[in-house]
Amino acid sequence: MFKNRTVNRLLALIVAMTYVLVALSVFSFKVYAADLEAEESEYDVDDLTLRQAVDLVNVTEEANTAGITMARQTVNEYERSQEEERLEKAAKEAEERKKRIEQAKKEQKERAAKRKAHENTVRTGGSANWNGRRISRSAGSIMGPSGKETYYNLDMSVCVRVMRRMGFSESEYPYAVRADGVKTLGGYVMVAANLGIRPKGTLIETSVGTGIVVDTGGFAKRNKTQLDIAVNW
């Protein structure tokens, strides 16, 4: 009888200790969980990487917590910046293509003008043995590629108006004076010539570049291949 009571007491003690251990375990787990939650609540959403932000949005797309909202903003801002960069790059590439096309057209036009000028020079009796001298203030008369060259300095406004009426627009053929003092129309040297063989608008070779006939003079009767170069000297 005594032995049975002792066994029962031991069993009761073991059961009681088991309950105590279980209770302690539950309490410890709750404390740990609370600490973990507190740490997570202190997480700074501003430190989210783009990858973390994307993951958060993908996992909880419908969530509306502060962290998820910040994550969405991070993703949206990144995507917006990427799109802006893409558009800016596309615009720059388009502008560069436009410049290349314009430059190619300009070079093609210049080559065509030189070919035409050469053809007109040869066709109207230009010299094939031009010695390469350039007309200048000190060299007032030379033999150029299209014949004898001289220079003159007069107001070219009347000539410019006539050329405008002929279709040489200001946008394509602006009047200008080069740094060396040569007067130009659309970049071509303005010259006076014999209009019988070189009508106005004719492109012709000169010692100072491709010329365009805009005028004539008394010299043309004496020497049909002579050119008078318009300058500001």
Give 122-129's long-range contacts (Cβ < 8 A, gap of 24+): 124/197, 124/198, 124/204, 124/225, 125/197, 125/224, 125/225, 126/204, 126/205, 126/225
R_g of the chain computed on alpha carbons: 46
Q: Which residue has the higher pLDDT, 33 or 107?
A: 107
Question: 145, 129 in Cβ contact below 8 A?
Answer: no
Beta bridge partners, 203, equal 212
**Mean pLDDT of the region 93-118:** 92
43 falls in which pLDDT band (50, 70, 90)? very low
Closest CA to 145 of 229, 231, 232: 229
pLDDT at 45: 47
Q: For tokens 């004898």, what's the residue?
A: 148
pLDDT 10s digits, 46-98 = 555 666 665 555 555 555 566 667 777 887 888 888 888 899 999 999 999 99
Kindly report the number of other CB atoms within 10 A of residue 190's CB atom: 26
Q: For residues 84 and 88, what is the distance between their CA atoms, to the nearest angstrom?
A: 6
Beta bridge partners of 229: 151, 191
Separation of alpha carbons 227 and 191, rounded Å: 6
User: What pLDDT does 144 receive?
Assistant: 95
Spell out the domain ranges in the chain.
142-230
**219: CB partners within 8 A, 6+ apart:** 150, 192, 226, 228
pTM: predicted TM-score of the whole model, two decimal places: 0.62
Return d(Cα 217, Cα 28) in angstroms, integer: 114
Distance CA 175, CA 53 (A): 62
Structure confidence at residue 41 as a pLDDT band (50, 70, 90): very low
Residue 21 DSSP symbol? H
Secondary element (H or E) of residue 228? strand 227-230
